Structure 1
Amino acid sequence: MIQEKGKPIVSKKIIKILGDDLVEHTDDIAVEEPLQISISVLNLDSPLTNKNISITMRTPGNDQDLAIGFLFTEGIIQDSNQIKRVALDENSINVQLINSENIDLGKLERHFYTSSSCGVCGKASIDAIKTICRLPPSLADFKIEKNLIKSFPGILQQEQNIFNNTGGIHAAALFNVQGKLITMREDVGRHNALDKIIGHVLTQDLLPLDQHLLFLSGRASFELIQKAAMAGIHFIMAVGAPSSLAVEMALEHDITLIGFLNETRYNIYTGSKRIKI
């Protein structure tokens, strides 16, 4: 297996079965590696306190955005001004915070263990993952042409370099209300791809994203809706199905939620007021 450190793809020799024939082939595979996220905070009792926050299985790349986005969507930080420095050492990243006297380390004792398939594994309860959104409320009173929505899967597919090479990756993409692609991130974890986007826009001071559209390459889970709500997003589209809890969260935060989106059809679960039907 050929792998360069920090690269999102590895090459591996495999055997393909084509009818009755066996063919030796070199295949590209999406990388999945652990990333330990920790923070360093100022404390009255000691100059600096280090705290491990999460171990997440991710595809290397945009790790700084991932860590910052995770800390924001978990309610640990509120803006990029709290970040003094970010240090990445292979599969470990530390975010040193300033203005962190008010961070309650006791609340961080709940175990964060996130995997590529489910970002909420190991959390104690639903109440523990309902992070409070600190952004001001927004009406997001735009309307999107119904046929424009069907164009987004094709746009994303053209941009998904890792997926096109491996087939084993998720993506999250951010569009403006005119349908222009703003940014896109790929990862083996759905939640990681979204955290990478949110971390990026947070450092660019672009929050809230109340004039943007979020497109997800997989299903719409509760956790993804919650993360999007934290960033002020009011319009979410997914290739797959939403869960019942995702629909409830979308209703609670006045989010337009679309599922089963492809080039010919989609379902509107909540917030049809933002679609010109």
Structure 2
Amino acid sequence: MAGATQRAKVRRFRDGTGIGGRASLAVEEPLEIRVDGAVVATTMRTPGHDFDLALGFAITDGGVSPDRVGGMSYCGVDAGEVVATPTAADLAGPYSGDFNVVNVATRDGGGVTVARNRQTVVTSACGVCGSDVVADLRERAGSVAEDPLTVDADVIASIPPAARAAQPGFEATGGMHAAAAFAADGTLLALREDVGRHNAVDKVVGWAATTGRLPMAGTILFTSGRVAFEIVAKAAVAGIPMIVAVSAPTTLAVELAQEVGLTLVGFARDGDFTAYAATHRIRD
């Protein structure tokens, strides 16, 4: 499996003149996610933190509670056999062999609690929302209205530049999204990068699950892209009471944030931002 970035030959043009050179590209490869051996999704992702991604997806999209998870492993594509249980050093990559299939094993062997057809590839450009998915995620997105989190406006303004400084993949390629967990005082807790913004969020949720931080009460989720319905739903499932994004939310995202009492902040750039829902958590 490749690392997160890869060098490529390019020809750059300035003022009509071409010059040969090299550039870094964001790596995009398929990851097949299985729960108890059954395929639940194949998503196009940037390699790295694959266990976080698989676990986060199983929780936010498959309804698997963290206490049911017994372990995770990379598997061979054809035979399905476990070929590695990587150490922390191994997870930094690159790997030898095939590491594009991850199995999440539950203690009870019961698989996902939300059964959907996920045999098609989920692209890095979008999530997996159809009308049935929207209805299910809306039903499973728990209320965070009672979370007592309050955050100073200047802390919110500080989050995008703090996240930007911790994105080596974007720095190298200009082609990766980021999602991050921040504490109420603006402390960066974890950041994950991926070509897909939904994948980056799932990686953060998976990190929280493996470190015993679910539900993520009192936590701020940063995302570098626009905020669609599914991002808000994933945050609510994880118990996150606030999202800060550098881009705009959609109508369904704002509606769901209002329904579940989640503070939704968009256009957080250059010290300014716009709050769309549950604005009472923001202190002037």
Normalised TM-score (structure 2): 0.86
Q: In the alignment, what sits opposite 1:66? A: 53
Cα deviation code 1:43-95 (max 9, x no counterpart) = xxxxxxx3111010000000011000000001431114422342354211112
Cα distance in structure 2, aligned partners of 1:121 and 1:144: 31
The code of the aligned residue for 1:218 comes to G
Cα distance in structure 2, aligned partners of 1:103 and 1:77: 6
Q: In the alignment, what sits opposite 1:29? A: 25
1:76 equivalent to 2:73? Answer: no
- Asked if 2 retains the 8 angstrom alpha-carbon contact of 1:30 and 1:166, the reply is yes
Q: In the alignment, what sits opposite 2:138? A: 130
Q: In the alignment, what sits opposite 1:146? A: 153
From 52, 59, 64, the counterpart of 2:39: 52
1:117 equivalent to 2:128? Answer: no
Judged with a 3 Å threshold, the aligned counterparts in structure 2 of structure 1 residues 85 and 13 are, in CA distance, closer, same or farther, namely closer
From 143, 157, 181, the counterpart of 1:174: 181
- Asked if 1 retains the 8 angstrom alpha-carbon contact of 2:11 and 2:19, the reply is yes
Gaps in structure 2 of 5+ consecutive residues: 76-97
Cα distance in structure 2, aligned partners of 1:26 and 1:80: 46
Q: Which moved more, 1:73-82 or 1:181-190?
A: 73-82
> What's the CA shift for 1:133?
4.1
The code of the aligned residue for 1:274 comes to R
Cα distance in structure 1, aligned partners of 2:112 and 2:20: 55
The code of the aligned residue for 1:58 comes to R
Q: In the alignment, what sits opposite 1:43? A: none
Judged with a 3 Å threshold, the aligned counterparts in structure 2 of structure 1 residues 14 and 101 are, in CA distance, closer, same or farther, namely closer
- Asked if 2 retains the 8 angstrom alpha-carbon contact of 1:120 and 1:129, the reply is no
Q: Which has the higher contact order (CA 8 A, sep 6+)?
A: 2
1:90 equivalent to 2:108? Answer: no
> C-alpha root-mean-square deviation of aligned residues, in Å?
2.1
The code of the aligned residue for 2:42 comes to I
Normalised TM-score (structure 1): 0.88
Q: Aligned residues: percent identity?
A: 36
From 189, 198, 216, the counterpart of 2:223: 216
1:265 equivalent to 2:261? Answer: no
Gaps in structure 1 of 5+ consecutive residues: 41-49
- Asked if 2 retains the 8 angstrom alpha-carbon contact of 1:82 and 1:100, the reply is no
Q: Which moved more, 1:22-31 or 1:122-131?
A: 122-131
- Secondary structure of the residue aligned to 1:7 is coil
